[in-house]
Structure 1
Amino acid sequence: MSLPGQRFLALDVFRGMTICLMIIVNTPGNEATTYAPLLHASWHGFTPTDLVFPSFMFAVGNALSFVMRKWEFMSTSKVVGKILKRSALIFLLGFLMYWFPFFKYNEQHQLVLSPFSETRVFGVLQRIAIAYMLAALMLYFFKTRATVIITAIILLLYKPVLMMFGDLTLTGNAVLKLDTWLLGVKHLYMGEGLPFDPEGLLSTLPSIGNVVAGFVAGKYIQERGKTYEGLAKLMIAGFGLFIVAYWWNLGFPINKKLWTSTFVLHTVGLDCMILACIIYVVDFLGRTKGTYFFQVFGKNPLFIYLLSEIGVIILWMIPVNGVPLFQWLYKNIFEYAGAYFGSFLFAVSWMLFCWLVGLILDKRKIYVRV
């Protein structure tokens, strides 16, 4: 049994690796010349990039397994207040990130407030906020066993719900229909060639499974993760979920943008196996050289993620010789390394810049918490 307040380096490294990869896949110098593994699957299917976001949610569950031990000594009202406050702040930060820079030029070249009516409502942080809130409340009130059962029921019912109110196509799915009815098309993500939000409200429900699985894994690791038996069981559990996902994929395709139940099992299985490998290297072999690089990301994950996203928006806003600074940097520096490799170098360089900011914060013991 772990002691209260004990840190698990492997979990910190896992969380840091997730943030590091998230920045790289989100900020290519030129999306048209991005290596295929660094792109999301167009619809059904899976690429390495599709693992990043669910791994972030899995890491949220890991962190929750540590926090819940502190909640045992607090009143119910205080715990619920903390959960709701944190969820609301994360959701608001995600919304403000999409609204940023809050102003734009109209057709008369006048600076006006960007209308709320055209701002995306759901997104990455918003999904994390909702899934965290529901998972945390269930785990606090119903405990682990009941929460796992409820989560399994959600995953089993998700396909029947999708088929009852639509199909599994981009234009006819129930996720799109619910978001369109609830918010209208102008509040949705426009990057799919039509209004469709891959972080829609309905598809957020199965994503609770990634948070709950992260919690269960985190709790298990604290209790048995530093034994060979515990490590073997974590690896076997991950491989078992991986096999089930591919078997179920025959009737319910793995699809990140719909966040299908098979996608949940597939990504949770991979995360468990990856985490088991990290534990083996870090804790069993004692090879910790280089882990501090990822710890920097893991100590300020939310701040560094926001910095990476808002920083890119600012680079697109600054004009240099008639083009945005983002494009100017790619064309005049990174593209000389080749269209594809240059795009990749740009993403890595931006990731390293964000890491440097995180390093400065860590050296000054500044940690942004929500």
Structure 2
Amino acid sequence: MKKENNNHSIEENISLEEIAQIVENYIQEEDVPIYDGYDVSIEDIEGEIDNNKNNIHKNEEIKKEPIIKEINKNKIEINKNKINEKESNKKKVNKKEINKKEINKKEQNHIKKELNKRFISIDIIKGIAIITIILASGLGVSDELPKYLLLSSWNGIKFVDLGVPVLVLATCFMIPSNIERDLKRKICYKDIIIKKLIVGISTFLIGLLLNVITSSDINHFRIMGILQFISIVYIIVSLIYIVFRKFNLKINVLGIILLVLGSIGLILYFIISKKFGNDMKNCLALFVDSRVLKGHFYTFERYGMISTISAIFSGIISLSGGTFLLDKKADVKEKMNRLIILGMGLIIISLILEKTCPHNVNIWSSSFSFIVLGSFMIVESIMYFLFDFEKNFKLYKLFYPLIMFGKNSFLLLVITEVLKNTLFKLNVYSIAMGKGVSFGKWIVIDCLSEIFGSSSRAIVFLILYLIICLISMIFIHENASKIKSK
């Protein structure tokens, strides 16, 4: 009873307005749901909770979306970079392939120019000839060289005997094409003659100077030599072609005239020399040289006056072969047939003459000149087809060393003769011999003996000399072509 009375007393004391004021002060509107006249069920509350959860997930997904987009962007960029790298690598590979192709094209174009400029077949033949000359030159220790590298003492033909004759014939064979090229460039005959004289006279003087330097008696120095021999033939044969060329004859007619002129000269030489005999002490060459070159030749002059005259007539016949290749109306087969027929005819003449006139390189006997000329024409016809008509790049590269020797054959011959008569003749003390020897012998005996022995050291010296010559000629050729291209 007391409690109830107390409650009534509190209710009586607190008015409704005060209660409302308390509610407003101590209860926030966010905590109390707004009553809109409808009752809120539990399901509605759960639904709102689910919606709130979904909203939270959506908000999280919205927050994650830019991160995912950035990751995807990075992945795309990485893939793009990989693709770009692959493409760049492909481009690099393609560039390398293109560069290789361009280099190959440049090489092929360079080779084509070389093939069009000159007869590569002649360069190869001249290359073989100059190598043969160097092998038979007696560099180093000539006494230790095998017999097949020694020149024939008198009658007979060895392979090394063909070096100088083939070089002379190949040089004369190229004279018509060289002069015709100069005429196409509108170079006058006078300038062409001057150019030929400069080359020939300068070569002659170099050879003569070497003979003076190496002579023990200046009053009786040797006049003729290999350089003098070749230079005289080159000058006279060139002038003969220019004289006949000024008559404006047809190329075939000119070739036949030269062939007849050269053949008559060699046959006359055969008829005249037959009266003097074929012995070294009784021959036309000794008879003439002992009078013309009196006091300026040794017991027998290998490159004397008679052998020079014989070489001039041989060079004139070689000129005719060179003119036949210049005939624009004839096709390759016709040109080859002409050279082959010409070569076979010359060999037949040689075999007829050989019965009474042995093959002899020392005096350039008529039989020797005819057989070398005939063989040269046949070989050149085959080489011409392979290298100058077919223009095979693989063959060009395969025979490149010989081509380099051939292109610079004259220069190599001069260098070899200069070294042979100057540097290689210097006196050097040999420990192995215990005395002074020539520098060439010193290299062979003191330097190469320990490695290669006494049996092969002389040949090794010649091979090393050829390798040095080849490297030098390639270097000169490559740098000369670069300078011209610039």
TM-score with structure 1 setting the length: 0.83
Q: CA deviation at 1:148?
A: 2.6
Q: Which residue, out of 271, 282, 286, partners 2:376? A: 271
Is the Cα contact below 8 Å between 1:307 and 1:354 reproduced in 2? no
Q: 1:118 to 1:366 in 2, by over 3 A?
A: farther
SS at match of 1:320: strand
What letter matches 1:218 in structure 2? G
Q: 1:163 to 1:214 in 2, by over 3 A?
A: closer
Equivalent positions of 1:341-356 (< 5 A) are: 341-356=456-471
Q: Which residue, out of 290, 293, 297, partners 1:183? A: 293
Q: 1:247 to 1:334 in 2, by over 3 A?
A: farther
Q: Kindly report the root-mean-square deviation, in angstroms, between the aligned alpha carbons of the 2 structures.
A: 2.9
What letter matches 2:339 in structure 1? L
Q: Is the aligned partner of 1:125 residue 2:227?
A: yes
Relative contact order, higher structure (CA 8 A, sep 6+): 1
Equivalent positions of 1:43-58 (< 5 A) are: 43-58=154-169
Q: 1:23 to 1:171 in 2, by over 3 A?
A: same
> Tell me, which stretches of 5 or more residues in structure 1 are unaligned?
103-113
Q: Is the aligned partner of 1:249 residue 2:357?
A: no
Match of 2:412 in 1: 304
Deviation string for 1:226-253 (max 9, x for gaps)?
A: 7244334423432332232122101111
Match of 2:306 in 1: 202
Q: CA deviation at 1:5?
A: 6.6
Match of 1:219 in 2: 323
SS at match of 1:69: helix
Q: CA deviation at 1:299?
A: 2.7
Match of 2:41 in 1: none
Q: Is the aligned partner of 1:31 residue 2:146?
A: no
Q: 1:199 to 1:43 in 2, by over 3 A?
A: same
Deviation string for 1:122-161 (max 9, x for gaps)?
A: 1112121222222222222234333332222211111232
Point out the structure with the larger helix share: 2
Is the Cα contact below 8 Å between 1:95 and 1:122 reproduced in 2? yes
Is the Cα contact below 8 Å between 1:299 and 1:362 reproduced in 2? no
Looking at structure 1, the residues matched to 177 and 337 of structure 2 have their Cα atoms a distance apart, in angstroms, of 22
Q: Is the aligned partner of 1:67 residue 2:169?
A: no
Per mean C-alpha deviation after superposition, the further-off stretch among 204-213 and 226-235 is 226-235
Per mean C-alpha deviation after superposition, the further-off stretch among 86-95 and 54-63 is 86-95
Identity, in percent, stands at 21
Q: 1:175 to 1:289 in 2, by over 3 A?
A: same
The structure with the largest alpha-carbon Rg is: 2
Q: CA deviation at 1:350?
A: 1.4
Q: 1:260 to 1:39 in 2, by over 3 A?
A: same
Match of 2:211 in 1: 98
**Count of aligned residue pairs for this structure pair:** 347
Match of 2:57 in 1: none
Q: 1:77 to 1:363 in 2, by over 3 A?
A: closer
Match of 1:10 in 2: 121
SS at match of 1:10: helix
> Tell me, which stretches of 5 or more residues in structure 2 are unaligned?
1-114, 246-253, 431-435
